[in-house]
Amino acid sequence: MSTRLSLDPAYLLDAIPAADLERAMARAREARETLLRRDGAGGEFLGWMDLPRDAPAERERILTAAQRIADSSDVLVVVGIGGSYLGARAVIDACAPQLAGNGLRVVYAGHHLSGRYLSGLLSSLSDARVSVNVISKSGTTTEPALAFRVIKTWMEARYGRAGAAQRITATTDRARGALRELAGTEGYETFVIPDDVGGRFSVLTPVGLLPIAAAGIDISALLDGADLERERALVADAADNPALHYAAIRQALRESGKAVEILASFHPELQQVCEWWKQLYGESEGKNGIGLFPASVCDTTDLHSLGQFIQDGSRNLFETFLTVAGEDMDTDVPVMDGDADGLNYLAGRNFSWINAQALHATALAHREGGTPNMTITIPALDAHSVGQLLYFFEAAVAFSGYAQGVNPFDQPGVEAYKRNMFALLGKPGFEDAAAALRAKDAQR
Amino acid sequence: MSTRLSLDPAYLLDAIPAADLERAMARAREARETLLRRDGAGGEFLGWMDLPRDAPAERERILTAAQRIADSSDVLVVVGIGGSYLGARAVIDACAPQLAGNGLRVVYAGHHLSGRYLSGLLSSLSDARVSVNVISKSGTTTEPALAFRVIKTWMEARYGRAGAAQRITATTDRARGALRELAGTEGYETFVIPDDVGGRFSVLTPVGLLPIAAAGIDISALLDGADLERERALVADAADNPALHYAAIRQALRESGKAVEILASFHPELQQVCEWWKQLYGESEGKNGIGLFPASVCDTTDLHSLGQFIQDGSRNLFETFLTVAGEDMDTDVPVMDGDADGLNYLAGRNFSWINAQALHATALAHREGGTPNMTITIPALDAHSVGQLLYFFEAAVAFSGYAQGVNPFDQPGVEAYKRNMFALLGKPGFEDAAAALRAKDAQR
């Protein structure tokens, strides 16, 4: 069985004329050259490229802190939003048995403004030993900062101020910002978010690595997997380079008029990888009035939901399946006396074989219905495979974004709602903006 | 405070010329006439229209069974896929405190083909008292039928065959099918899926009502809420009818070139309502090569993920916000000595007020960025409000589908992957289809 991620474009290629694909491939190669020269737009945010080889000393410190958290806690509360938690959650859900119930449990807070969720979460932790990892570059992002205020108060009421400080770890800017300052005052252990890595590319920094390691996942294997894919993505010829190939295919499809890419996982463990992917692709490419809208489904679940649309609705979609090679250590289909459901023909088969047939069947059906598709296969649901997948998607979006003619490393549109929100919340300094909003609303 | 669902189109209307909206309204009204005459396409599947007023005797039997399940069980495993579980899950997540940890816990199986999930789920139940509700019209749908084989075997090993039979309830066809037959043989209590209600419209039949009631949610309030909205949706003039208005607006936007509708919830409890909505709208309208692609986000979470795209990416989107009036019984923002994060200006505010400002800020920002939007507000996160919301969406998709010129009650495209899958799985009777698939693959 292969130990490498692969990309199978078999149900796709006749949707793209060969000349168009060739042109898209050439542009993807040029985009890679730009990336490697580090002189394209957003060139100050290319730290992610080398993370798999970065900072072995820091890695040791992460492992030590993770072990301390795991030894002293039943639950780790990760406080962060967007790139500050999506990567960790993706890897943890993919690699840690979700329902096994042993080991440290990682839960999330500060990723929205639901007070009901937050108070419910804290109530549910009354019998657990709790540690907290608060993750924010600035320390002033509204959602995690507000949640952290509540959680800090709760931790201090429970463990005392000094006891809480030993159970709180801050991942933040190297030198500046509110959280850096607070950590200094309170005496929290800190980890650094590098200046040259954007939030959505930060999973292989301490942002992701600390909670992932605390959850008991092998971060060395994760980084090794990423490094393996790094070598291929940044170096290999197009024909042997899935990341370059993926970038070219999606740009060719975009130019042919496709508006939506659906990442369709066939394993529930990969659902949060799809959420991470949506941020990575949506923020990197959705700008200047263009970009493929990134959507996701979890199959076969959503074949009974969005399947009808993908088969037969608007023909402005394409699909990227995400699956895992080999077979799980899972349940076989038992025999049923009398064969009431007519499924004895599958008795003795295991579920992952059946799932693989369902994927093949779906790829073919959707292609025939007019939704071209390709399939990404990773070797296993383990840290090494997921590391490959993360780097694959990161490299591909850099190639694809440059090929599309945008800066894949900024996110100027994220600020618009924040400015309005600060005005409506009455934040000092936003008085004029507040007056302007009130005037607009009066004209509605 | 209002006790009724409302629709606010304030950040939308200038995106649609008045004449276009008027035309769309006229078509929506005609669509409603067709629906009320019951002579349009799919007229044999209109049972959902009257469900809020249906079958009080059966309601009593549901309540009795639900009470028995709740008294005898810690966990209810709902086995179903698509319309057989999405409605129950939506209502349970919206109305039952997710993290409280008291009362019956409802978990789901048979909604995909992951053997790892299934075996992990059963392992996690070793210390719990378990009941099962298997939901399938035919009893032969692959995913739930396979999962039920495994779960039935597990239940019988644990409780004996007779003991298991007392803990398994089947919701299925009135007279025919594999599950009806099996239930007869085994002695399971059964509930009926009416012939004139399609899967995605079945939440107010026993399909949804039994698990919802078992979870401790007031199904009379749910049905009363639905009935209240029924009166308005089927009767009221356009100006006072949010369902008609919503149908007309989305068709006008579709005709203006919008390709994707994003349902954006501002409450994590409503995420599964969005999943239910995606099936309802995707299956009802995504056919004949047309339809709005239904996507969802959970805010403010996804403002830090897809927010960039919605603000500034391809301008082929519109957005429907989903929120809850009033304030939760939730946490206030505590004061922080020294104000390290600069958020003391919010001290004493509660989270739901801040969340409401974030929604207002976002609606305005996205509108200015070129993503028109409207807001659906329900009075509270309770059964009566959610009942209103379910009927609102069901009625609106019927109006909208007819106005779009499709049969909103069929789903012909769902079968395509199944035929391929049966062939690949070696199902008896699909030998020719299997040979044809092999030939196609050989040509790849």
Per-residue model confidence as pLDDT tens digits over B243-282: 999 999 999 999 999 999 999 999 999 999 999 999 999 9
Instruction: For residue A207, give the 3-state DSSP assignment.
Output: helix
On whether ipTM exceeds 0.90, the answer is: yes
A102 band by pLDDT with thresholds 50, 70 and 90: low
Question: CATH number of the domain that A234 lies in?
Answer: 3.40.50.10490
Decide if A124 and B99 are in contact by the 8 Å CB cutoff.
yes
Q: Which of A341, A368, A420 is the mutation pick for testing B, counting most B CBs within 10 A?
A: A341
Of the candidates B287, B305, B338, which has its C-beta nearest A308's C-beta? B287
| pLDDT of B101 strictly over 60 | no
Residue of B nearest to A139 (CA): B341
- Which residue in A has a C-alpha nearest to residue B328's C-alpha? A116
Regarding whether B186 and B93 lie in a shared domain, the answer is yes
A10-32 pLDDT, tens digit per residue, is 888 678 999 999 999 999 999 99
**Beta-ladder partners of A136:** none
Is residue A283 part of the annotated active site? The answer reads yes
If you write DSSP's letter for every residue of B318-377 in order, what string do you get? EEEEEEE-S--S-PBPPP-GGGTTS-GGGTT-BHHHHHHHHHHHHHHHHHHHT--EEEEE
| Inter-chain touch B301–A81, beta carbons under 8 Å | yes
Per the structure, the complete domain to which residue A14 belongs is given by 6-40+221-403
Q: pTM higher than 0.80 for the full model?
A: yes
Interchain CB distance below 8 Å, B331 and A139: no
Per-residue pLDDT band at B96 (split at 50, 70, 90)? confident
Tell me the per-residue pLDDT of B324-346, one tens digit each, with 9 for 90 and over.
998 776 789 999 999 999 999 99
Give the separation between CA A12 and CA A436, rounded to whole angstroms: 50
Mean pLDDT over B216-225 rounds to 95
**Alpha carbons A156 and A167: distance in angstroms, whole number:** 10
pLDDT surpassing 70 at residue A262 = yes
B360 is catalytic: no
pLDDT above 60: residue A46: yes
Kindly tell me if the per-residue pLDDT of B442 is higher than 90.
Answer: no
Q: How far is A55 from chain B (nearest CA, A)?
A: 28
Instruction: Spot the catalytic one: A33, A418, A431, A440.
Output: A418
Does residue A99 sit within a domain? yes
Asked whether the beta carbons of residue B331 and residue A119 sit closer than 8 angstroms, the reply is yes
Q: Where are the beta strands (DSSP E) in B173-292?
A: 189-192, 260-265
pLDDT of residue A191: 97
Catalytic residue among B44, B418, B431, B440, which?
A: B418
Q: Are residues A95 and A133 in the same domain?
A: yes
CB contact under 8 A, A341 and B182: yes
The C-alpha of A266 sits at a distance from chain B's nearest C-alpha, in angstroms, of 8
| B122 and B253 together in one domain | no
Considering A283, A285, A319, A394, which one is annotated as catalytic?
A283
Q: Read off the pLDDT of each residue in B385-391 and give the average, rounded to a whole number.
A: 98
Q: For residue A98, what pLDDT is reported?
A: 47
Same domain, yes or no: A266 and A373: yes
Q: What percentage of chain A carries pLDDT values higher than 70? A: 98
Confidence (pLDDT) at A331: 85
- Helix (H), strand (E) at residue A377: strand A373-378
Would you say residue A314 has pLDDT above 70? Answer: yes
Q: Are residues B126 and B215 in the same domain?
A: yes
Structure confidence at residue B102 as a pLDDT band (50, 70, 90): low
B152, B263, B285, B351: best to mutate for the A interface, most A CBs within 10 A: B351
**Boundary residue ending a domain (A220, A240, A271):** A220
A234 with A277, same domain: the answer is yes
Give pLDDT, residue A330: 74
Residue B106 lies in a domain: yes
In the predicted model, is pLDDT for residue B177 greater than 80?
yes
Rounded CA Rg of chain B = 23
Mark whether B152 is an active-site residue.
no
Residues B35 and B78 in one domain: no
**Neighbour-count burial of A126, counting CB atoms closer than 10 A to its CB (0-12 exposed, 13-18 middle, 19+ buried):** exposed
For the stretch A184-240, pLDDT in tens is 999 999 999 999 999 999 999 999 999 999 999 999 999 999 999 999 999 998 889
A362 and B99 in contact by Cβ < 8 A? no
**Chain B residues whose beta carbon lies within 8 Å of the beta carbon of residue A428:** 345
> Is the pLDDT assigned to residue B99 strictly greater than 60?
no
Higher pLDDT, A168 or A444: A168
- Does A72 lie in the same domain as A18? no
Spot the catalytic one: B229, B261, B269, B283: B283
Report yes or no on A10 lying in a domain.
Answer: yes
